[in-house]
Amino acid sequence: MLLVGAGVLFFLSPLVLGRYMVFILNLFAVYALVSIGLNLVMGYTGQISAGHAGFLAIGAYFTAIVGTKMGWMPALLILPLAGLFTGLIGFLLGIPILRLKGFYIAMATLAFGVVVGEIILQWSGLTHGDDGFHVPRAALAGFVFNSDKRLFYLVQPITLGMVLVARNIVRRRVGRAFIAIRQSEIASQTMGIHLAKYKTSAFAVSAFYTGIAGGLFAFVITHISPDSFNLGVSIDFIAMIVIGGMGSILGSIIGAVILTGLQQLLTGLPEVQMLIFGVALILFMIFMPRGISGMLFDLREKLGKSGNGEGKGKEVNGTFPDGMKRG
């Protein structure tokens, strides 16, 4: 009941919050989706992706272009199409990456992000290049989401639904296969897991999530340009899942909220922002490699042990409910 009450209060919050705070809540949701998508590749499958801003850009520009050229198309159709198109790109990217490992995957995905940015700049007839692209307002059945408060009721339900789907994915056979690949590719092959199938699927699903996030990002920001999807943005996404917790849906959300909040607090101070993010990333990788969500799981275990001595009962086959390996 407490959780339901908190949810009701959250969805009523735009009635009392100012426009800027509602805008920040929408941004939290968008980046949470990106973080979840990236975590499916890095945290659950163990593949490095350093160019996720490229997927975000594809989803955002697809939404802007389709929304402009096909003004009759509702937002709830444009967004899935943006996700599917971006997911297809992710699948195609995943095929050659199958042959790469470690550092080489990082460089390949980094190059992908750079190439996407360059295409946006050079294909100015379609993307408007450096001038940026004005995004038409999202609409559904004649209702126009022409304010941050109205967008809240488009962005948040979609985000909630996709969080639940991601939670379902990682708890089922696909998620267990991802985790097995992360732990040991050789062992997972001996168990009958098709590496190529699941690795490319991870990239496709991750890109699908990021593509939908890109569409929502375009609707929230209303004006997109290549600068919104540079290398620094990809690094921020990696920082989100490292700080929040690799291999954790909850950690993805926590990391997105914390880093997005810091970005807004440090607006106008890019050097300070970069310094704080860099130091935080290093400290978490050294002292808290499982991130904040890992710390929360450890705390829950300790409380369970002190309360009834059954703290280990929270685990299933050596992993936590959302796939986190016990340290």
pLDDT digits (tens, 9 = 90+) for 314-326: 433 334 445 444 3
Amino acid at 11: F
Structure tokens at 254: 């926590």
Q: Which of 17-26, 42-51, 264-273 has the lowest mean pLDDT?
A: 264-273
Interval 71-116: pLDDT, tens: 889 999 999 999 999 999 999 998 888 888 878 888 999 999 999 9
**Dihedral pair phi/psi, residue 248, rounded to 5°:** -150, 125
Proportion of the chain in helix, strand, coil states, percent, rounded to 5: 75, 5, 20
The secondary structure element, H or E, covering residue 144 is strand 143-145
According to DSSP, the residues that pair with 316 across neighbouring strands are 319
User: Cβ–Cβ contacts within 10 Å for residue 241, how many?
Assistant: 29
Radius of gyration of the chain (CA): 20
Helix (H, G, I), strand (E, B) or coil at 319: strand
DSSP 314: G
Estimate the crossing angle of helix 249-265 against helix 19-39, to 10 degrees.
140
State the DSSP string of 219-243.
HHHSEE-GGGGSHHHHHHHHHHHHH
Calpha distance 137→19 (Å, rounded): 17
Give the separation between CA 106 and CA 129, rounded to whole angstroms: 27
Q: For the chain, give the percent of residues with pLDDT over 70.
A: 93
For β-strands 138-140 and 133-134, DSSP reports them as unpaired
CA-to-CA distance for 115 and 234, rounded, in angstroms? 13
CATH topology of domain 17-314: ABC transporter involved in vitamin B12 uptake, BtuC (1.10.3470)
Per-residue pLDDT band at 216 (split at 50, 70, 90): very high
Closest alpha carbon to 49 in 35, 60, 61, 59: 35
Give residue 140's identity as a one-letter amino acid code: L
| Average pLDDT over every residue of 147-160 | 94
Q: What pLDDT digit, counting tens, does each position of 49-80 carry?
A: 888 999 999 999 999 999 999 888 999 999 99
DSSP secondary structure code for residue 208 in this structure: H
Torsion of CA 276, 224, 112, 195, to 10 degrees: 90
Confirm whether pTM is higher than 0.85. yes
Domains of the chain, residue spans: 17-314
What confidence category does residue 308 fall into, taking pLDDT thresholds of 50, 70 and 90? low
Cα separation, 159 vs 30, in Å, equals: 7
Tell me the residue type at 166.
A
How much is the pLDDT for 307? 63
